[in-house]
Amino acid sequence: MFKHLLISFTLLLSACSAIPPKTSHNVCSVFSEQPEWYYAAELASRRWKVPVTVLMAIMYHESGFVADAKPPRPWLLGIIPWFRSSSAYGYAQAKDETWSDYLTATHNPDKDRDDFADAIDFIAWYCRLSQRKLKIAENDAKRLYLAYHEGHSGYLHKTFMRKPWLIRYAEKVATTSTQFQHQLTTCKLQTG
pLDDT tens, position by position, 118-173: 999 999 999 999 999 999 999 999 999 999 999 999 999 999 999 999 999 999 99
Residue at 3 is within a domain: no
Residue at 94 is within a domain: yes
Residue at 88 is within a domain: yes
Domain of 43? 24-191
Q: What is the pTM of this model?
A: 0.84
**Beta-strand pair 75-76/80-81:** antiparallel
Helices (H) then strands (E): counts for the chain: 8, 2
Residue at 130 is within a domain: yes
- What's the structural domain count of the chain? 1
Q: Quick one: which of 62, 186, 184, 79 has its CA closest to 126?
A: 62
Residue at 167 is within a domain: yes
Q: How far is the CA of 153 from the CAs of 105, 130, 139, 159, in angstroms?
A: 19, 10, 21, 9
Residue at 162 is within a domain: yes
pLDDT of residue 148: 98
Write the pLDDT tens digit of every residue in 65-85: 999 876 554 555 566 654 445
Who's near 92: CB < 8 A, 6+ residues apart? 58, 59, 62, 63, 113, 119, 120, 122, 123
Residue at 46 is within a domain: yes
Task: Kindly provide the residue ranges of all beta strands, DSSP E only, lying in 44-144, ordered along the sequence.
Answer: 75-76, 80-81
Residue at 18 is within a domain: no
- CATH at 114: 1.10.530.10
Stretch (H or E) spanning 56: helix 52-63
DSSP 50: -
Q: CA-to-CA distance for 47 and 42, rounded, in angstroms?
A: 8
